[in-house]
């Protein structure tokens, strides 16, 4: 409309802390615990009522494993490793082996680790404008049930996933149009899994079904490895006019079950189910949104349209499964995650964003905060390109993740960590990397408070020594550590 109004009001300061972490997903929770353990008075705020992000409220949206690189075959170091071990003491199985059990464990363990480390928590609040003095962030306004309130902080960490604080501070952001990929997880219960496995999961689509799928276009064709067994049922429902397996949302993207129906409760990788939870008849699926160059995560109207479409599609899909797919006749829609996730989206433009060329070339940075080991799967037998090639990186390549990737351009007192710190491609959103981003950002924030420096002026060598000695963050071999004067 172009119309504006001007608002002026007095806002109560409800907290004055050293480090304020905005968002309690993987990066934010790790950052908060790390900062607190380094002696900083730390507060974390989040829009949900409990922490964990896509591993908590999101019910492990995405891959059902940590996708650890070969260099971490023995497990993750530092606070992430402690978190994972504590979770697995409750799950009695590898973390992310089962959505429903593990999502609750994740949130509980983060709550306990925050409590033990002295992290203050404030949930069910939304981040609003940062408190600015010139170009320096001095805290944040939050919207609560009591209205707008203020939190003062010496350092703020934006772990919102969408660079919300960075954007509202007026710092440059990438709108994320190159890669968004939104969606949500849902599950069906009371499924006769034996019947489904026997009559559906092992079926090969007929040539007629394949030709029909090709007529629908790229979204379905690109996912035939997951959707192939469902094609006969999709086609019958489509031609009968009672269900469409993919829907277009006002030019914003195509909604469909981009990974099919998970044949185990664990997900598309069919990892082991040592607790035999599959016997309870729970099968999962994930709705994805593709072709989303016009859908921007910073656009609330577009996000509302997509989320409403996805939630409606989930219910319609549940009815389709019950009506037409063997094994689902007595099933019901068990749960839809409250978290509409995105594997990409708006992100900060930082001092040193790692590029695909940096990844492919194994780029080294003197301000490295961890070494990334970007291993990939080989080309598929059918010759189609792999996700690795789409993202533009080579198999088994190591490169450095620099501290400057946490520093938004043109603004002081603010660090950004997690998905909002990367511009995709290349793919740097894997969970183990996000854990390490959070740990490094939390340590940096606490060090900056301790030394009285801004995050931008921080002595990076001191940060590296802390990450190496206390948190065993991977920074390179002995020769590299000596070059960096870490040892």
Find the mean pLDDT for residues 385-407.
69
pLDDT tens digits along 178-225: 778 888 889 899 998 888 888 887 778 899 999 999 999 888 888 888
pLDDT score at 383: 39
Collapsed DSSP state (helix, strand, coil) of residue 20? strand
Question: pTM surpassing 0.85?
Answer: yes
pLDDT score at 35: 98
- CA 398 – CA 416 distance, rounded (Å): 23
Find the mean pLDDT for residues 343-370.
91
Collapsed DSSP state (helix, strand, coil) of residue 379? coil
- CA 176 – CA 171 distance, rounded (Å): 15
Beta bridge partners of 372: 399
pLDDT tens digits along 109-131: 999 999 999 999 999 999 999 99
Q: What is the mean pLDDT of the chain?
A: 88
Collapsed DSSP state (helix, strand, coil) of residue 222? coil
- CA 399 – CA 130 distance, rounded (Å): 33
DSSP secondary structure of 164-177: HHHHHTT--EE--T
Q: Which among 264-268, 431-435, 463-467 has the top mean pLDDT?
A: 463-467
- CA 94 – CA 105 distance, rounded (Å): 12
The DSSP secondary-structure symbol of 385 reads P
- Contact 34/79 with Cβ under 8 angstroms? yes
Asked: is 12-176+346-483 a CATH 3.50.50.60 domain? The reply is: yes
DSSP secondary structure of 62-103: S-SS----GGGTT---HHHHHHHHHHHHHHSS-TTSSHHHHH
- Contact 42/176 with Cβ under 8 angstroms? no
Asked if residue 29 has pLDDT above 60, the reply is yes
Residue 205 has, within 13 A of its CA and on its CB side, a CA count of 24
Domain residue ranges of the chain, discontinuous segments joined by +? 12-176+346-483, 182-342
Angle separating helix axes 26-37 and 78-91, nearest 10 degrees: 110
């Amino acid at each position: 409309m172009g119309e504006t109004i001007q608002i002026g009001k007095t806002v109560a300061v409800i907290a004055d802390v050293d480090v304020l972490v905005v968002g309690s997903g993987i990066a934010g929770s790790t950052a908060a615990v790390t900062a607190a353990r380094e002696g900083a008075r730390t507060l974390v705020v989040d829009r949900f009522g409990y922490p964990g992000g896509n591993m908590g409220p999101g019910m492990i949206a995405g891959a059902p494993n940590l996708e650890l690189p070969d260099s971490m075959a023995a497990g993750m170091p530092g606070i992430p490793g402690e978190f994972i071990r504590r979770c697995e003491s409750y799950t009695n199985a590898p973390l992310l082996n089962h959505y429903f059990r593990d999502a609750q464990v994740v949130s509980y363990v983060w709550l306990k680790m925050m409590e033990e480390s002295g992290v203050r928590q404030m949930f069910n609040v939304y981040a609003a404008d940062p408190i600015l003095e010139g170009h320096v962030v001095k805290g944040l306004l939050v919207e609560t049930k009591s209205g707008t309130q203020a939190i003062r902080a010496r350092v703020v960490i934006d772990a919102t996933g969408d660079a919300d604080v960075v954007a509202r501070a007026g710092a440059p952001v990438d709108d994320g149009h190159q890669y968004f990929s939104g969606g949500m997880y849902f599950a069906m219960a009371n499924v006769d899994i034996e019947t489904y496995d026997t009559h559906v999961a092992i079926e090969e689509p007929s040539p007629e079904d394949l030709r029909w799928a090709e007529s629908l276009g790229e979204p379905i064709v690109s996912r035939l490895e997951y959707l192939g067994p469902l094609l006969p049922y999709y086609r019958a429902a489509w031609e009968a006019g009672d269900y469409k397996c993919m829907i277009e949302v006002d030019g914003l993207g195509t909604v469909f079950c981009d990974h099919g129906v998970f044949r185990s409760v664990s997900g598309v990788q069919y990892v082991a189910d040592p607790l035999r939870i599959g016997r309870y008849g729970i099968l999962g699926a994930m709705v994805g949104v593709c072709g989303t160059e016009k859908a921007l995560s910073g656009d609330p109207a577009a996000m509302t349209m997509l989320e409403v479409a996805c939630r409606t599609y989930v219910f319609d899909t549940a009815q389709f499964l019950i009506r037409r797919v063997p094994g689902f006749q007595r099933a019901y829609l068990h749960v839809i995650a409250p978290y509409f996730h995105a594997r990409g989206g708006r992100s900060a433009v930082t001092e040193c964003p790692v590029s695909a060329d940096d990844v492919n070339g194994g780029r080294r940075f003197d301000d490295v905060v961890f070494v990334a080991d970007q291993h990939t799967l080989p080309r598929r037998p059918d010759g189609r390109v792999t996700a690795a090639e789409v993202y533009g990186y080579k198999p088994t390549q190591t490169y450095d993740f620099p501290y400057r990737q946490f520093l938004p351009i043109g603004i002081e007192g603010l660090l950004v960590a997690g998905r909002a710190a990367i511009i995709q491609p290349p793919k740097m959103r894997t969970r183990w990397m996000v854990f390490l981003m959070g740990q490094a950002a939390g340590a940096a924030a606490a060090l900056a408070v301790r030394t009285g420096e801004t995050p931008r002026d921080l002595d990076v060598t001191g940060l590296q020594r802390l990450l190496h000695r206390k948190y065993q963050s991977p920074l390179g071999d002995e020769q590299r550590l000596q070059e960096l004067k870490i040892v």
